[in-house]
Amino acid sequence: MERLQKVIAHAGIASRRKAEDMISSGKVKVNGKVITELGTRVTPSDVIEVEGIKIERENKVYFLLYKPTGVISAVSDDKNRKVVTDFLPYVDERIYPVGRLDYDTSGLLLLTNDGEFANLLTHPKYEVHKTYIARVKGLVSRESLRKLEKGVKLEDGMTAPAKAKVVSADKAKNKTIVELTIHEGRNRQVRRMFDAIGHPVQKLKRERYAFLHLGGLSTGDSRELTPHEVKQLRALAESGTK
């Protein structure tokens, strides 16, 4: 069940705040009955009318995008830069990214119009693992890896324990490729974690999100999630499975 004002907003009728005003002023009916109580929850089978016009609810859709670098994880940008939805022009529904990847970070990003699903996957109390491949400056020692694994202190607090391993190291070029798996989603977290151990990130890609991966996709490609994948993601988040 979803809040009535949220359903009205998602249908594109009005902003959520405006939808609340419309409900309070008696302009909304559910199954023929005027509803004025904010927070009223409705089911997909309920018939909702706003000022006498029945609203059509969008089907819930779920997509996986291989986000390129130089793209904003948003649906619009005031500087007219490319945004992730530019890569899904065939989608009629009003989708938005689940969480975000930095402008300079590529990799796996989910998009949906299902707010409950998005909140479930991004809520701090749930532990959905995300795996990144980072090319960093310098040769990363075992001691530095242990710091990542135990958690490092950032300006917004200690990070949760992570999994880290060296994929390769190049002494001549003074760089290391590290695989890092975390379940938090703080702003620029992976980059800040490597900064904290003295190895700035030169290139970063999210390879996996839970059990999902980029196999078969090229940069900028996307695909729809299967119903089974959506069900698995819900179950994974709800169980807190690591």
Cα end-to-end span (Å), the chain: 27
Separation of alpha carbons 120 and 127, rounded Å? 10
Separation of alpha carbons 128 and 207, rounded Å? 14
21 is catalytic: no
How does 205-230 read in b/e, with b if 16+ C-beta sit within 10 Å? Answer: bbbbbbebebeeeeeeebeebeeeeb
Distant-in-sequence contacts of 221-226, Cβ < 8 A, 24+ apart: 221/65, 221/66, 222/63, 222/64, 222/65, 222/66, 222/87, 222/88, 222/111, 223/63, 223/64, 224/61, 224/62, 224/63, 224/64, 225/62, 225/63, 225/64, 225/110
The catalytic residue among 46, 77, 92, 102 is 102
Q: Active-site residues: which are they?
A: 102
